Amino acid sequence: MGFGPPFVGKDTRLDIVRSIADVGYVSCGDICRDEIKRDTKIGRAILAHKKSSGSTLAPTDIILPRIYQEVGVQRKLHRSVILNGFGRQEDQPDPAVEMIAKFGFTSLAALWFKADRELCLHRASKRPPRSHGEDDPEKRFDEYVNISVPAMYKLLDFASQGFPIQVHYYDCHVEKKMARVQARQIKAAFCLPNKKK
């Protein structure tokens, strides 16, 4: 699971991992954007929730069936699957842990990419706004601190209870060129096979 504040650089690192390792990939954000773009029932429900609650996060009950569907597809093709952007809400660590048995994984690894607010917001200022009207970076970072970090600590509690969960921390204050080094560290840490040519 890829986890971290908005604009920390987790997509950059995970994209590099995907370029060098034979690994599946499921992005909660990509799924949400696709559903919204295609104006599906799920996409409309996500937009309605954001409008009524003011939250930038998609409700678990709405997005979970699609997450399961995509993880199932990727699991048939790969030994390991990166799940990016899930586990960020209080009710998401439970289904994340349930995926271990549901899809026959041996363990769950959480990759926690860390950087402070100042750096993340600086990086945000260098990027164009998302085409579907993403909320402002300050709000997204606040949600990370107030909602996502407590959810991550819940996952850590599961690990302390003996569930097969590993948490690895990556400092994203380093220079951008270090992203490739960190991606290779991730590949080595989880013995991911080389990407098939």
CATH code for the domain in which residue 139 is found: 3.40.50.300
Band (pLDDT 50/70/90 cuts) for residue 132 is: very low
Please count the structural domains in the chain. 1
Mean pLDDT across 168-190: 89
What was the pLDDT predicted at 176? 74
Q: How confident is the model at residue 130 (pLDDT cuts 50, 70, 90)?
A: low
C-alpha 60/C-alpha 57 separation (Å) is 9
Residue 154 belongs to what domain range?
2-30+75-189
Can you say whether the dihedral through the CA atoms of 89, 95, 97, 103 is positive or negative?
Answer: negative
Residue 63 lies in a domain: no
6 located within any domain: yes
In a domain, 105, yes or no: yes
Closest CA to 190 of 14, 6, 36, 54: 14
Average pLDDT on 138-157 reads: 93
**113 part of a folded domain:** yes
Q: Against a cut of 0.85, is the pTM above it? A: yes
The conformation of residue 190, written as its DSSP 8-state character, comes to T
pLDDT above 80: residue 92: yes
Does any domain span residue 39?
no
Q: Which residue has the tokens 């986890």?
A: 3
Q: Give pLDDT tens digits for 43-77.
A: 999 999 988 988 888 999 999 999 999 999 999 99
Strand partners, 172: none
- Local confidence band at 163 (pLDDT 50, 70, 90 cut-offs): very high
Q: Is 48 within the bounds of a domain? A: no
